[in-house]
Amino acid sequence: MKNLKSDRGDEYFSREFSTLYEENKIIHQMITPYTPQHSEKKNRILMDMVNVMLLNAKLPNNFLG
């Protein structure tokens, strides 16, 4: 893992995590939680994943979203 993105939740801000990031050269990026852009991106990624699964299942194109 090279990057970790979190929504500024407390679970990723302990001293142990900071040490882990430094030792493994992990970049911790803090994002703004619950923005519409993140929701849209997540939805697009999920739809892409569903479409790939449908294509791999060799279903007709009318099943694609």
Residues 17-50: pLDDT tens digits?
A: 889 889 999 998 887 777 777 778 888 999 999 8
Q: In whole angstroms, what is the distance from residue 27 CA to residue 9 CA?
A: 16
Reported for 15-21, long-range contacts at CB under 8 A and 24+ positions apart, including other chains, are none
In terms of pTM, does the model score above 0.85? Answer: no
